[in-house]
Amino acid sequence: MPQETAQVNKSIFTPFNVIAGMIIFCGLIITVLRFTGGLGAVTNLDDNNPWGIWIGFDLLCGVALAAGGYVTSASCYIFGLKRFHSAVRPAILTAFLGYALVVMALHYDVGRPWRLPYPIFLSPGTTSLLFEVGLCVFLYLTVLFIEFSPAALEWLGLKKIRNLVVRLTLVLTIFGVILSTLHQSSLGALYMIAPSKLHPLWYSGYLPVFFFVSSVFAGLSMVIFEGSLAHRHLHHKMDETHLEESAGVALGFGKAAAFVMMGYVGVKFIGIAMDNNWHYLATGWGLWFLLELIGFVVVPAFMYAIAARDRNLRLVRWASILAVLGVVLNRLNISVVAFNWHLPSADRYFPSWMEIAISLFIVTIGVVVYRFVTTRMPIFYEHPDYEH
Amino acid sequence: MDALFYTLHDFLLHSKSITYMMMGAVLIGLLLFWLFLSGRDEKKRTF
Amino acid sequence: MGISRRQFLGWLGAAGAGATAVSRAEAASNKQFDGYPGSFGILHDTTRCIGCRKCEEACNKVNELPAPEQPFDDLSVLDKTRRTRSDVFTVVNQFQKEDSQLPVFVKKQCNHCLEPACASACFVRALRKVKTGAVIYDESLCVGCRYCMVACPFNIPAYEYNEAITPRVTKCTMCHPRIEKGLLPGCVESCPKEALAFGTRERLLKTARRRIQKYPNAYIDHIYGEQEMGGTSWLTISGTHFSEIGMREDLGTQTASSFTAGPLAAVPVVVALWPVLLTGIYAISKRKDKIADEERIHAVAQTVADANEEMQVKLAKMKDSMAKEKEAAINLEVKRALEEAAKEAAESQQASEEAGSETPKEEK
């Protein structure tokens, strides 16, 4: 302990803090611009391109990459794979932060953020898939908050409430999986209303299935990726159980992800067959589509497979990075790249630097809060009073 | 009661609103029924 | 004083109307929806349009929109293809036909779909189709998510991107407030060439068909908006293929809600069956754990029992051998005692015999 405080006192101007501070400062300035000048002042959005990277990256990727929460808790509590238990808390924390930041990002993107409760409480438009997404994200954020709360309650020493909440674990986990299934898939289904705008290779009646299945391996890969980052920077915060189990978590999740990814590749091609879109594969769009599917799904799937066979931890980690990038690429393709593909290039959208800066700002906030929480609360270790 | 629908959209709005309420009811109902179903089982830690 | 005959008949009529309303409501809950009966529409005949932009001007005035940079009589605006904007609800575009010197002018605005994609997409019901035929927008509910703009196949709704606090989605209202007052829509009223006609949609469809029939060489045999996206209240006829005058012909005839019907229908199924599936998996994995536990306990018990038995056998053997040893020892003792006794007896005998006669042989 004394060593730690010495480290904290050493200097607050670490490279991490300086860069994070600069991004947050930038973000705050753009925030002021956004809420005084409107979306037009900071974004490249226009009437033809109403959704940019604040939806494509912050919402779609944010939600997909926060899928680790439901995947990990389901594998541990529902499927009974107890050897993944030490991975649950970090995954729940990331998911909770991820969803909280998604909601925060939405406040930037929608025109009147103070009306965000309207669809749920005032005037529900139940025919809209966005209503479904909104309701689920709202409920799931609540579920994640409750699921995460034991860590905070242990930190605060509130034993009674903590024990009460822990008793709800199973119900919350099942509810969380239901909500995740629904909104992960509905995010894909959002685009089903616009078959005339999304490129046929990406548009499919199976869009919700694609989104759900890819969220599973996105979540698994994110847990592995995060685990490797945490190992490098937060090693001293991990207890023996966590350290012992972490290799097993990475290899087990990598193996699971590999198989799910191959299933995903299968349904993607079935989607092409269903709509008879084979001829598009020979076009430039087709090459881009194949790059996404082969380069960023099949390749990492094989990397995972080899790593799982050889029990190669380094390869699992590299594969997880590629898999995460693949999911990001897929979401951006659907929301930005292949959306409005028929428009002349002059009418197409490219994000402004301020949009990118706000996205970076939100990610940075996530990392800072993650560090704050993991260095204080029992995330990577079990609280001595509550071990079981 | 305005039960006459001229457009598919109005009809869907009506039926989906009821469906959403049904979903909540089904969830709670299933939970309670499971508790009833397994009420006599021996107690065991579930976590 | 009792009820008059007229009153009574009135009630009967009301009851009858009620009864028919109920039966029609039941009929209406099937899959067929024909839209509001007698709802209005507008027919745009591009062969009559001269591109004077009078409709744009009227629209601007009626909707109290800000004055444009270039005045409405400046026709150089037509050189560029435009779309609707937050402060421009309608535009006239000019298209040059390849085989003719004469340009074609096409007015663009909200088509007022019979089953609007925007209304289907709106998660606060800010957009809806009303009985006049118009698709109208309620600013007081709008969150500004712009999903309606994503959904609209005609790229019509625009957004006030530069409004910081109260940005609105804007689009043509078909002059819904004016229609309710019994006035014509601004653009229709101002058109000098009758390129725009207002009336019930049914009547306009007949008009359009009549014109196409009468002048088959002047028109393409298609009424744009009769079937597109399930039909629109705004109808267009043209002498040029619609795809050549900026109107998509690949939209199909399905309504927007039919595209999302599948995923929406899957939602309640997931809600109802996932708990069953997940609880089932949980129960199975728990049961397996329990069986594994029991087997382990059983195995341990078995081992213990086996060990016990072995020990018993060993113990018994040990007891046995011990008993034997003991017996042997006892026998030995007894033997020794007997020998001793015999010796003593012999000695005493010898002693007595020594007294009489000596027996040294027996001594050895």
CA distances from A115 to A100, B21, C191 (A): 17, 22, 40
The shortest CB-CB distance from B47 to any of A126, A135, A169 is to A169
Q: Residue A93: which pLDDT band, with cuts at 50, 70 and 90?
A: very high
pLDDT score recorded for residue C4: 53
Which residue's structure tokens are 């033809």?
A48
Nearest to A128 among C122, C141, C163 (CB): C122
* A117 SS3 class: coil
Gyration radius of chain A over CA positions:
21
Q: Which of B9, B27, B47 sits opposite A127 (nearest CB)?
A: B9
* Identity of residue A38: G
Q: Please identify which residue in the block is written with the tokens 């040059």.
A: C96
Please report residues of C whose CB lies closer than 8 A to that of A196. Answer: 153, 248, 250-251
pLDDT block averages, 10 residues each, chain B of length 47: 76 92 94 90 58
Q: How far is A20 from chain B (nearest CA, A)?
A: 38
The residue of chain B nearest to residue A175, with distances taken between CA atoms, is B27
Is residue A8 a part of any domain in this protein?
no
Contacts 24+ apart (CB under 8 A), C211-220: C211/C45, C211/C237, C212/C237, C218/C47, C219/C47
**Chain A interface test: which of C82, C120, C127, C146 (most A C-beta within 10 Å):** C146
Q: Is A51 a domain residue?
A: yes
H or E element that contains C337: helix C256-356
Query: A175 and B13: CB-CB below 8 Å?
Result: no
Which are the contacts of A345, defined by CB distance < 8 A and separation ≥ 6? none
A 50-69 residues inside an 8 A Cβ radius of C: 50-51
Chain A positions contacting chain B at CB under 8 Å are 77, 124-127, 135, 166-167, 169-171, 175, 178
Q: Which residues of B touch A169 (CB under 8 A)?
A: 46-47
A289 and A329 Cβ atoms separated by less than 8 Å: no
Which class for A39: exposed (0-12), middle (13-18), buried (19 or more C-beta within 10 A)?
buried
Helix ranges, A276-350 (H): 284-290, 299-310, 313-332
| Residue A106: pLDDT over 90 | yes
- State residue A235's pLDDT score: 81
Based on the structure, what is the number of domains in chain A? 1
ipTM: 0.90
- How far is it, in rounded angstroms, from Cα A106 to Cα A114? 11
Gyration radius from chain B CA atoms? 19
Give which of A126, A146, A167, A174 to mutate to test B binding, by max B Cβ within 10 Å: A126
Nearest CA in chain A to C171: A47
Whole-number Å distance between alpha carbons of A209 and A90: 27
Contacts of C171 in chain A (CB under 8 A): none
Residue A331 pLDDT > 80: yes
Q: Residue A246's pLDDT is what?
A: 85
Q: Where are the beta strands (DSSP E) in chain C?
A: 40-45, 91-96, 103-108, 127-129, 135-137, 158-159, 169-170, 196-200, 234-237
Q: Does residue A355 lie within any of the structural domains?
A: yes
CB-CB: which of C24, C33, C114 is closest to B11? C33
Question: Is it the case that residue A145 has pLDDT exceeding 60?
Answer: yes
pLDDT of the residue at C21: 44
For A14, A26, A62, A190, B24, the CA distances from A21, given in Å and listed in that order, are 10, 9, 22, 35, 44
Instruction: Name the phi and psi angles at A79, rounded to 5.
Output: -80, -5
Contact C36 B26 (CB under 8 A): no
| Facing A127 at nearest CB: one of B13, B27, B46 | B13
Chains that touch C (3 or more CB pairs under 8 A): A, B
Distance from CA of A48 to the nearest CA of C (A): 6
> Is C264's CB within 8 Å of A129's CB?
yes
Interface membership of A131 toward C (CB under 8 Å): yes
Q: Which of C211, C347, C146, C321 is nearest to A130 (CA)?
A: C146
The answer to whether residue A330 scores a pLDDT higher than 70 is yes
What pLDDT is recorded for position C354?
Answer: 62
When pLDDT is averaged across residues A121-147 and rounded to a whole number, the result is 94
Mean pLDDT per 10-residue run, chain C (364 residues)? 48 44 47 86 95 94 93 90 93 85 92 95 95 95 95 96 94 95 95 94 96 94 94 95 92 93 93 94 90 91 90 90 85 82 77 58 44
Q: Which of C123, C165, C278 sits opposite A131 (nearest CB)?
A: C123
Task: For chain B, give the longest Cα–Cα distance.
Answer: 56
Confidence label for A2 from pLDDT (cuts 50, 70 and 90): very low
Q: What percent of chain A has pLDDT over 70?
A: 97
**Band of the pLDDT at A378, cuts 50, 70, 90?**
confident
User: C 256-285 residues with CB below 8 A of A?
Assistant: 256-257, 259-260, 262-264, 266-267, 270-271, 274-275, 278-279, 281-282, 285
Domain extent for A67: 15-381
C-alpha A308, offset from chain centre: 24
**Interchain pair A192, C270: CB under 8 A:** no
Which residues in chain A are closer than 8 Å to B9, comparing Cβ atoms? 127
For the record, the structure tokens of C97 come out as 């036909």
CB contact under 8 A, B47 and A124: no
- Which residue would you say has higher pLDDT here, C22 or A162? A162
| Per-residue pLDDT, C11 | 47
Give pLDDT, residue A384. Answer: 77
Which of C31, C123, C273, C279 is the best mutation test for B, with the most CBs of B within 10 A? C279
pLDDT at A387: 60
Angle, helices A240-275 vs A299-310, to 10°: value is 140
Please report the residues numbered 292 through 321 in chain A whose beta carbons come closer than 8 angstroms to any beta carbon of chain C: none
Q: Provide the b/e sequence for C315-331 (b: ≥16 CB within 10 Å).
A: eeeeeeeeeeeeeeeee
Give C230's contacts in chain B (Cβ within 8 Å).
8
The predicted structure's pLDDT at residue C22? 43
pLDDT value at position C334? 82
CB spacing of B9 vs A170 below 8 angstroms: no
Pairing verdict, β C196-200 and C40-45 = antiparallel
**Touching chains, B (3+ CB pairs < 8 A):** A, C
Determine the topology of domain C34-254 in CATH: Alpha-Beta Plaits (3.30.70)
**Residue C15, pLDDT score:** 43
Measure CB to CB from residue C259 to each of A123, A170, A193 and give the nearest one.
A193
Domain boundaries, chain C: 34-254, 263-364
Q: Chain B partners of C115 at a C-beta cutoff of 8 Å?
A: 7-9
Beta bridge partners of C236: C44, C224
Shortest alpha-carbon distance between residue C92 and chain A (Å) = 17
Cα gap C189→C206, rounded to integer Å: 21
Helix (H, G, I), strand (E, B) or coil at A13: coil
Residues A22-50 have pLDDT tens digits of 999 999 999 999 999 999 999 999 999 99
A124 chain-B contacts, CB cut-off 8 A: 17, 20
Residue C17: predicted pLDDT: 45
Which residues in chain A touch residue B28, judged by CB atoms under 8 angstroms apart? Answer: none
Q: Is A1 inside a domain boundary?
A: no
